Amino acid sequence: MANIDWIILLGTLSFIVIYGSWKTRGSQNVDEFIKGGNKAKWWTVGLSVMATQASAITFLSTPGQAFHSGMGFVQFYFGLPIAMVIISLVFIPIYHKLKVYTAYEFLESRFDLKTRTLAAILFLVQRGLAAGITIFAPAIILSAVLGWDLVTLNILIGVLVIIYTVSGGTKAVNVTQKQQMAIIFVGMFAAFFIIISYLPQDITFKKALQIAGASGKMEILDFSFDLSNRYTIWTGFLGGTFLMLSYFGTDQSQVQRYLSGKSIRESQLGLLFNGFLKVPMQFFILLVGVMVFVFYQFNASPLNFNPAATTAVKNSAFAEEYKALEQKHHTIEEKKRVAQFQFVAHNSDEKIRETIKTLNREEVENREKAKEIILKADDTQETNDKDYVFIHFILNNLPRGLIGLLLAVILSAAMSSTASELNALASTTTMDLYKRNERSAKEDKHYVKVTKWFTIGWGVLAILVASVANLFDNLIQLVNIIGSIFYGNILGIFLLAFFIKMVKANAVFWAAIITQIIIIIVYKLDILPYLWLNLLGCILVMGIAITLQQFAFKSNLEVES
């Protein structure tokens, strides 16, 4: 990295931290610290919600996803606008009316204290671990490609976030997220136009799309009902709505963003802003990945984009075998280059399209063989290299200065998500567990101080999780599994609270406990793929609660009504 890259990277990050801390210093009461004094305008709410969801992995992994599998991933977000409308219409008016600090506080007014505490604890376990992974996931990739020390990088990201989140609470998170989103947009647009300018002279944007289409990268929509296809328009609408509803409606790291809105209307508009921009934004990030794919049709690419995996295999007994595959890879690339030029010159000729398809198949097979050899050489290596494609492109092709800016994009995204998570974890610990169980009420200042200490505590825990994450084989997957085990249950509790008025506290509490036990058993017995545990948990808790209310707690219902 050149000096100018370091200046841009460090300058951008320090500006965000210093400005965020200075601008929001001295929050004296809980309302200011946890809800930002309810002063946020709709665009602040909207950008904050987007920045919270978009982690560093979004910018590292999504272009790589498009590079390997095309644009189909955009379908995953089709349910998001529907979820935004439902949350705006149903969730926000109730949260605002009850003036809650956390989503779980609402559960006490609707059910009882034990249901609120249960939901808060489920959130803390899941989000506490996820915060560590939000730091670890980009750190492991950046340390692999830049040679930076992993633990130092974990500590750097964590400490920077802790500084401004402790200093200004929700307000600081909101202020910094606006700047982080600005950097993210500028960086991604710059990268996109530079990639286009790097294409051979006679390859226009339209021709680039034709080249991508000939290799199947423009299969944006999949209308098939094949359950083995992870991204189809149906899973996007059904699964996506369900998933986004649980994430945006019941996860405090998101709820806290729109609770900071100046009014119901500002919060609702903020979410609608997200519903308006999210799909095109994801489409654009995927398009960047597709353009990187087109770029590598005319330029040499590595056989595997993960440098650590390549080094491991080259230092093993399988080096010669791997070299032979690399040679074959370059031969295929050379043939493809010729074919792509012919394809463009002959106006998308069908014969040449078939040749490109055959060469693509050969290339994929070759890459798969390379992965097998890497695993034979060192089975601890990550062979799925989609997370490394975009960063490899950035470091090897972008001009000086822009490398620093793009690294700032990645670190800004990591910081914005982590800040929301720490802010929400601390708020939930203070409001749902600490303050709620205090015998005597204390001054506001005391709770601000306690929330700040909880922020530091959760921050240190996140850094520790990030630092030991390396020792576990599949920690990211483990966190996703833990999320799937708890998320459905929490969403079910909220859906019962909002829509099924006849269900009361005891029925929902015991239904949640029974559901959690069943979900853990189903997971242990490996009956369903873990992503489906979300849906199962939600259906189970709702079904069991209604049944319990009808039969076991029927007299309760009569007394209460």
Partner 1 sequence: MKNQEQSVSKKWKKEYTAVLLANIAYILIFYFLMKTFS
Does residue 102 sit in helix, strand or coil?
coil
One character per residue 272-301, x = contact with partner 1 (rule: CB under 8 A)? x--xx--xx--x------------------
* Near partner 1 by CB under 8 A: residue from 4, 37, 39, 85: 85
Tell me how far, at minimum, the Cβ of 191 lies from partner 1, in Å. 21
537 token code pair: 């948990």
From 304, 474, 302, select the one nearest 383 (Cα to Cα). Answer: 304
* Near partner 1 by CB under 8 A: residue from 84, 309, 485, 519: 84
398 token code pair: 């972008």
Strands (E), 379-445: none
Q: Does 221 bind partner 1 (CB under 8 A)?
A: yes
From 133, 127, 142, select the one nearest 60 (Cα to Cα). Answer: 142
Residue 59: count of CB within 10 angstroms of its CB = 24
- On whether the CB atoms of residues 252 and 424 are closer than 8 A, the answer is yes
Tell me how far, at minimum, the Cβ of 75 lies from partner 1, in Å. 9
| Choice between 263 and 358, CB closer to partner 1 | 263
Interface of this chain with partner 1, residues 500 to 559, rule: CB under 8 A: none
* Near partner 1 by CB under 8 A: residue from 48, 88, 143, 232: 88
Interface of this chain with partner 1, residues 89 to 108, rule: CB under 8 A: 89
Number of residues that bind partner 1 (CB under 8 A): 27
d(CA 483, CA 381): 25
| Choice between 19 and 284, CB closer to partner 1 | 284
d(CA 514, CA 275): 35
| Choice between 213 and 401, CB closer to partner 1 | 213
Tell me how far, at minimum, the Cβ of 286 lies from partner 1, in Å. 11
128 token code pair: 């506490």
| Choice between 66 and 465, CB closer to partner 1 | 66
* Near partner 1 by CB under 8 A: residue from 6, 28, 146, 219: 219
Q: Does 74 bind partner 1 (CB under 8 A)?
A: yes
| Choice between 213 and 457, CB closer to partner 1 | 213
Which residues, at least 6 apart from 214, have a Cβ–Cβ distance to it below 8 Å?
343, 348, 353, 356, 357
DSSP structure class, residue 78: T
From 156, 154, 70, 95, select the one nearest 386 (Cα to Cα). Answer: 70
Q: Does 239 bind partner 1 (CB under 8 A)?
A: no
d(CA 506, CA 485): 22
Task: Report the amino acid identity of residue 277.
Answer: L
Q: Does 10 bind partner 1 (CB under 8 A)?
A: no
Tell me how far, at minimum, the Cβ of 213 lies from partner 1, in Å. 3
Q: What is the DSSP string of 317-359?
A: TTHHHHHHHHHHHHHHHHHHHHHHHHHHHTTS-HHHHHHHHHH
| Choice between 36 and 70, CB closer to partner 1 | 70
Interface of this chain with partner 1, residues 175 to 214, rule: CB under 8 A: 209-210, 212-213
Tell me how far, at minimum, the Cβ of 377 lies from partner 1, in Å. 38
Tell me how far, at minimum, the Cβ of 350 lies from partner 1, in Å. 13
| Sign of the C-alpha dihedral computed for residues 471, 476, 477 and 481 taken in this order | positive
Residues in contact with partner 1 by CB under 8 A are: 71, 74, 78, 81-82, 84-85, 88-89, 209-210, 212-213, 216, 218-221, 233, 268-269, 272, 275-276, 279-280, 283
